[in-house]
Amino acid sequence: MTETYSAKDEVGQVRQRRSRWDRIWTELKKAPITAWFGMIVIAIYVIVAVFAPFIAPYGEAEVHPLPFAPWSPEHLFGTDQIGRDVFSRLIYGARNTIGIAFLTTILAFLIGGGLGLVAAINQSWLDQILSRAVDVLMAIPALIFALMLLSIFGSSVWSLVVIIALLDSTRVFRLTRAVAMNVVVMDFVEAARLRGEGLGWVMRREILPNILPPLVAEFGLRFCFVFLTIAALSFLGVGIQPPTADWGSMVRQNASLIQFAQYDLKAGLTPILPAAAIALLTIAVNFVVDWFLIKTSGLRDEV
């Protein structure tokens, strides 16, 4: 009998998983063309970032004899100011820029989301201290504050990740606290507290599942902001440091080629390529986030 019930349970779980995937596929088929465009672009970027060493024709810091070489079959987008292949560095830049931005966004959500949930549940002196500290940090322009902190602590990758994550966690804290405050007062949360459930259990099982959709959408938007912040800092010379490839620093390093656009159009386009890569990913993520917000908010296009 035990084996029979186990087999039935297993069949039920398989059917449940299938039905879940069927529902997801049904929603994806109804997604607008903009959302599909965004998902395809994001998938391509992820593939390029993961398999960068196998896709790039040359090494990330491999130097060739001719600086600022023109576009050719050997160097698809030419070389930079010291002879590194621009196409290869674009590919490696996807891994570095996107990977660091993704790690930074996750850390920002762990810090800001966790403290936001604690503040919403606590609603005492701890909530007041955290909220006022966040207000002070948000009053300072994030880019200027990041420049100051990076000048003090150095421009290593881990300094960049921690500093930007701490600054960006303030925005995550505000959103998490705001949406969690509406759930904390619900009867099922009070029932969990009366049962003697711990703070971590209430946060994980009662509050977080009910505020997940806006947080997921915010994750996409925060990723874009972090992504652009890292690119801006690298363009200013205090972000990801050479010889590590980064799209922001690539724009700065090849900016002098723009003045030669009237003589060689392809050479003038070289510094625009990393900027276009940044813009395309930002647009793609925003398309997906917009569609997700419409689906989770219950809004429809019908009048």
pLDDT in tens, 36-93: 999 999 999 999 999 999 999 998 888 888 888 888 888 888 888 888 899 999 999 8
What domains appear along the chain, each with residue ranges and CATH number?
A: 32-297 (1.10.3720.10)
pLDDT at 303: 34
* pLDDT tier at 104, thresholds 50, 70, 90: very high
Read off the tokens for 147.
Answer: 């420049």
Q: Which of the residue ranges 141-145, 229-233, 299-303 would you say has the lowest mean pLDDT?
A: 299-303
Q: Which residues contact 22 (CB under 8 A, 6 or more apart)?
A: none
Read off the pLDDT of each residue in 109-126 and give the average, rounded to a whole number: 86
pLDDT at 161 over 70: yes
Instruction: Say which residue the tokens 């392809």 belong to.
Output: 266
pLDDT at 4 over 60: no
Measure the CA–CA gap between 29 and 21, rounded to whole angstroms.
Answer: 12
pTM score, whole prediction: 0.83
Q: Which three-class secondary structure state does DSSP give residue 63?
A: strand
Are 202 and 121 in contact by the 8 Å Cβ rule? The answer is yes
Q: Which of the residue ranges 23-27, 47-51, 175-179, 241-245 would you say has the lowest mean pLDDT?
A: 23-27
* pLDDT tier at 18, thresholds 50, 70, 90: low
pLDDT at 6: 56
